[in-house]
Structure 1
């Protein structure tokens, strides 16, 4: 995450309810709430994949001061209360929903600038973060630790790692060498193909060749 003002800073995951200008791509912290156990199941991701429409964005008449882009999107992760299972002396998470949502304060579009191409670019931001969240939940589902406290610490490390990865990828996506905020159609198509391939195959999202 860069600390200098840049349109790329806005197209990123943010903590639920956070100021979208705050240079932090964080997930809300996992806490050992809901100490009961569930008979089966484990962590799951909701809210992704889904198709965005312009109704997901707040319409504005003009770009905010200092802004050079016509649309931005910000995502938030809302983990539910953590529930634990103990199996053979090992602790893991039971059923808990990790919900991916849009942060309304950081998701807007200049009304006169709405195009199908711009919406596809913003969809790319959403899907890149969704792929990172998918991998995060899969990794958390596989965690096993000797105590609940150790498990919670491990969950936080996993969330932080995927948080940083999502931020790095979304910055790459918008960079001048890649899509240049969607203006480079050839690179935009390459990213769209890479996103779809990773979504279908389960592979980790990487910068396309």
Structure 2
């Protein structure tokens, strides 16, 4: 993770000319364009009839406000259990290429057991994080989703948040997202019967698939990177 001193924000490099960043105040139109795309709507739980530009603006405002605290903690070098990286962004143009989400879904206290490498885990919690992602129509087929998700997992979840596992829910007919998850090391661990689909997918007639990747983390991993270093 690095710190852009000109923009005064953290970022994660994805590949040349692309980084993961927080939301910006001017992202409303691009956010709406990505999330209202028919392909994205078909793969998500969003009700197309209810999703408007106004709702996109309201969502953006909420996210910027909630992420401000997370960014401030990072600026001070303090630990937290959230990620401020919600956008896949072109650099230096600033164009929003897609969205990526990460949130804590479960946390258990460490038991002092060792992982497969024999590294003791008693000093960290067993945190599980759920991820989701979508990219603009122009960015599809470029490997961007895989590169962005891999960067989020390896940098934010493993090194910063020290997560124990990453999970994702996906519709059974969403083959593109399933391939992306598999290329990032996640494997399907459960297929829900349509009548038992978890919220917010209760009305989906197919099966919701649960993907998971358990993470082996060394005790040498650094929990909090030094901000503003430019490195």
Same fold (TM over 0.5): no
By percentage of residues, which structure has more helix? 1
Give me the TM-score of the superposition, normalised by structure 2.
0.24
Give the structure-1-normalised TM-score: 0.25
